[in-house]
Structures are given as C-alpha cells and as structure tokens.
C-alpha cells in the first residue's frame, strides 16, 4: 500500500545514488512510497513499472529491471528469494532514513542477508520506561490490561453536587 514518505535533502548529494542514472534514482524514490513499513517490496519489474511509471509508456518493465539492477549494484537495495520461492527486495538503509511511529507487521519475508538490520532499533533521545519518563500505553497494552483478571478500574472521584440537586435531595428527605 503506498505511503507518504520523506526524502532527506542529503539524498541529492548521495554518492551511492549518484552511481545510478536519473531513471533508476526516480525508481528508488518511488520504491520508498511503495515499500511496506520495513522497506520491503516484491521484486517484480512489471509490478513496479505499473506502480511507478504508469504514464510513461517508454519506461517499460525491461527499463525498471535495469533500474533495479543498478540500485542493487550501488548497494541501495538488496534482492533476495523468500522461503516461498518468490523474489523480494528491501531498501538497505531504510531504518536510517524512514522513522515509522507505528509500523504494521510485514507480510513479506525478511532478507536473510540483512535480517538483523530489519529489527527496529530504539530511537536516540527517548527515555525508556522506568527511567522517570511517563509514557502513554499503546492500544495493544490497554487491551491486554483490560483483558487480564488482575486489572480493576480506578474509582472515579466524587462529583460536586449542584445546589439545585442538593435542594431536591433535602426536600425529598423531609
């Protein structure tokens, strides 16, 4: 599913991106928008050409295959075969450049060559819970707490009684 992603200004002075032609660079930027929250995508030039070059009939799947080959040679993407026998790719520096707040679980297999790199690294500057920081519970944590037998709701504080209600209560007790 396409997502809104960011491109850092440094991308335009990247030496590894400078190794590929402009069409391959555009394919790379397009892959950023099509990859899942872990930087993975199906490695199928026809699918990628249809997603990224739909209005450019002159840039066929053969051209996209060349783009992917250039990107792999420059070390920008890694192409691999999953356990299901299908071909996949992932953007090698994904975790350095894309910060996903609530990543969805990937439906695509991880790269066997970079499997350790696909784990989400902790963000610098964030305190871990228990170090004096207050953090909000995630919806998943709230659901698990709500389902557990040990959880009991806190009683709500007493509400102030309005003067009108107070008069009604006094009259009813007379």
* pLDDT per position as a tens digit, 52-75: 999 999 999 999 999 999 999 999
Domain count, the chain: 1
pLDDT for the residue 165: 77
Asked whether residue 126 is domain-assigned, the answer is no
- Summary mean pLDDT of the chain: 80
Q: How far are the Cα atoms of 55, 65, 74, 76, 122 from residue 50, in angstroms, in the given order?
A: 9, 12, 23, 21, 35
pLDDT for the residue 30: 95
Q: Identify the three-state secondary structure at position 76.
A: coil
pLDDT for the residue 92: 94
pLDDT for the residue 147: 52
**Residue 103 structural domain:** 9-118
Asked whether residue 93 is domain-assigned, the answer is yes
Asked whether residue 138 is domain-assigned, the answer is no
Asked whether residue 153 is domain-assigned, the answer is no
pLDDT for the residue 140: 52
pTM comes to: 0.65
* pLDDT per position as a tens digit, 27-58: 999 999 999 999 999 999 999 999 999 999 99
Burial 58-77 (b: 16+ CB within 10 A, else e): ebeeebbbbbbebbbebebb
75: which residues sit within 8 A by CB, 6+ positions away? 16, 92
CATH code for the domain of 106: 1.10.10
Of the pLDDT bands very low, low, confident and very high (cuts 50, 70, 90), residue 132 is very low
Closest CA to 89 of 76, 80, 102, 99: 80
Closest CA to 76 of 41, 116, 100, 106: 41
- Say how far apart CA 97 and CA 115 lie, in whole Å: 17
Contact present, 82 and 70 (Cβ < 8 Å): no
The token pair at 46 is 């026809």
Asked whether residue 157 is domain-assigned, the answer is no
């Amino acid at each position: 599913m396409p997502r809104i992603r960011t491109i850092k200004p440094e991308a335009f002075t990247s030496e590894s991106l400078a190794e590929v032609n402009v069409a391959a660079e555009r394919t790379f930027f397009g892959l950023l928008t099509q990859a899942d929250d872990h930087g993975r995508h199906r490695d199928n030039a026809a699918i990628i050409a249809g997603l990224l070059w739909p209005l450019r009939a002159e840039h066929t799947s053969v051209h996209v295959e060349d783009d992917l080959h250039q990107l792999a040679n420059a070390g920008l993407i890694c192409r691999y075969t999953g356990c299901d026998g299908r071909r996949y790719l992932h953007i090698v520096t994904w975790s350095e450049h894309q910060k996903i707040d609530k990543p969805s679980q990937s439906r695509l297999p991880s790269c066997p060559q970079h499997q350790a790199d696909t784990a989400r690294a902790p963000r610098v500057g964030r305190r871990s819970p228990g170090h004096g920081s207050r953090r909000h519970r995630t919806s998943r944590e709230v659901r698990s707490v709500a389902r557990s037998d040990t959880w009991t709701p806190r009683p709500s504080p007493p509400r102030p009684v309005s003067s009108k209600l107070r008069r009604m209560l006094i009259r009813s007790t007379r």
